[in-house]
Amino acid sequence: MIFSFIYNNGYFIVEEMMLDKINDKLTPILNQVMERNTGEKEFHQAVHEVLGSLGHVIARHPEYADNALIERLCEPERQIIFRVPWVDDQGDIHINRGFRVQFNSALGPYKGGLRFHPTVNVGIIKFLGFEQTFKNALTGMPIGGGKGGSDFNPRGRTDREIMRFCQSFMTELQRHIGEYIDVPAGDIGVGGREIGYMFGQFKRLTNRYEAGVITGKGLLYGGSRARTEATGYGAVYFVERMLATKGYGFEGQRAVVSGSGNVAIYTIQKLTSLGAKVVACSDSNGYIIDEGGIDIDLVREIKEQRRGRIKEYAEHKGHSVKYVENGSIWDVPCDIAMPSATQNELASDNARTLVKNGLIAVGEGANMPSTPEAIDIFQEAGILFAPGKAANAGGVATSALEMQQNASRDSWTFEETESRLAGIMHSIHDLCYETAKEYGVPGDYVRGANIAGFVRVAEAMRALGII
Ligand code: GLU
């Protein structure tokens, strides 16, 4: 299936071949989203994918399209863009741009991470906020959807510079968030250190110890056990359940996990503990192949402690490890692929290579890492495909567990928290699986997730009236 947006006479039109996926009522909505959000191609892509799944739902439940519900769903409730001035260690002043898109609060306060990366712009934050709305709905927890971040590049910055940036960012953000309003967390470029600095600044500015205002906190100041591990572990639990529908398990499977950040690290750790062999991981400069199985302690030391590059893994291990600069990690043959780096990192040619090399399943740890063409190739080849908004929901679900612990001033054990996470991932899997079956597309987890997430948000929006 060919997927492209064509700019025609001032309008974006969807290439004809895609229209069979989209109900008549939905095409003008998609066109309006494209017109109104010119140039925001990741946002168009995310909306296109969801609307492309809703044809059968609207046919069966025309009431979900009443009162411009879908138009409202595609327009964020609020978009905040702000200046973030900060001073580097040399005394030079930098100006970054900060964002918070409060997408949908039908199911609960806005909830979603903050991304610090030079590629961040309003279109990226909007795509992430839109995805987050459905992902959060799938968890079954009382959280709406939002996302934020900045085009700040943390790479090479000192700890003091990171702190000053986080403080400046929060100086503006604090007026827009709160435990009943909007609850940020981490994402790419934002981990425990940054959350600590931002929470510290929030506390200072507001004079309130409002732990539930942000998640991903350290254990000493209101964090939850298993939150750090949750996105990676959760993605593996989802894939485990998906494999089981075909009678497969992890034992002896060969896996490739892209990335080497928080999601990738805990995906590799859990895959390995369940009997798979993870042979490759990457960063934005290149990838490593370790046929003996990735040594996760070494990756953690390089990435979490030294904040170094994955190349150092090969330098440390010597000849047994191959480092490939600028290549594609998807050239490495595997049974299970878990893209856990960033959006659109896995394109159609990569998908074809993976299928040719005998792939059986894909579990997306990142948000929207596979392009629409790649997804079509996987699905047409009968590969089990778990989309990010379902498979990586364990992170935000555990954030909601953190909010729950903060609200009750409680702190659960690792085992308690992880077992809740596993239960949530299994129910998200089963919901997607059953929904796909119910709507006549068995095994299609993309439609299953989009439909199930949509139905929950739509039901709540209908109940709340035209707001
Ligand atoms: N950034 C993560 C995500 O994409 C986690 C968000 C959160 O915990 O609020 O879902």
**pLDDT (tens digit, 9 = 90+) per residue, 249-297?**
999 999 999 999 999 999 999 999 999 999 999 999 999 999 999 999 9
* Ligand 1 atom closest to Cα of residue 136: 10
Name the H helices within 227-371: 227-244, 262-273, 296-300, 311-317, 348-356
Tell me what the mean pLDDT of segment 231-239 comes to: 99
* Ligand 1 atom closest to Cα of residue 227: 8
Q: Is 4 helix (H, G, I), strand (E, B) or coil?
A: coil
Residue 74's pLDDT is 98
Residues 57 and 53: their CA atoms lie apart, in Å, by 8
Catalytic residue among 21, 111, 126, 147: 147
Residue 300's pLDDT is 97
Residue 21's pLDDT is 57
Provide the whole-model pTM: 0.95
Tell me what the mean pLDDT of segment 74-92 comes to: 98
Residues 148 and 110: their CA atoms lie apart, in Å, by 11
Is 246 catalytic? The answer is: no
Lowest mean pLDDT of 18-27, 229-238, 342-351, 385-394, name the range.
18-27
Residue 25's pLDDT is 85
Residue 18's pLDDT is 41
Q: Decide if pLDDT at 6 tops 60.
A: no
Q: What is each CA distance from 238 to 40, 322, 337, 384, in whole angstroms? A: 30, 30, 13, 11
223 lines ligand 1 (CB under 6 A): no
Probe residue for ligand 1, chosen from 132, 194, 417 as the CB with the greatest number of ligand atoms within 8 Å: 132
363 lines ligand 1 (CB under 6 A): no
Tell me what the mean pLDDT of segment 159-177 comes to: 98
396 lines ligand 1 (CB under 6 A): yes
What is the separation of C-alpha 251 from the centre of its chain, rounded to a whole number of angstroms? 27
129 lines ligand 1 (CB under 6 A): no
Probe residue for ligand 1, chosen from 195, 229, 231 as the CB with the greatest number of ligand atoms within 8 Å: 231
| Distance in Å, CA 112 to ligand 1 centroid | 5
136 lines ligand 1 (CB under 6 A): no
What average pLDDT does the structure give for the chain?
95
Supply φ then ψ for residue 439, to 5 degrees: -95, 15
DSSP 190: B
Q: Decide if pLDDT at 454 tops 80.
A: yes
Lowest mean pLDDT of 10-24, 279-293, 294-308, 382-396, name the range.
10-24
Nearest CA to ligand 1 atom 10: 396
With cut-offs at 50, 70 and 90, classify the pLDDT of residue 24.
confident
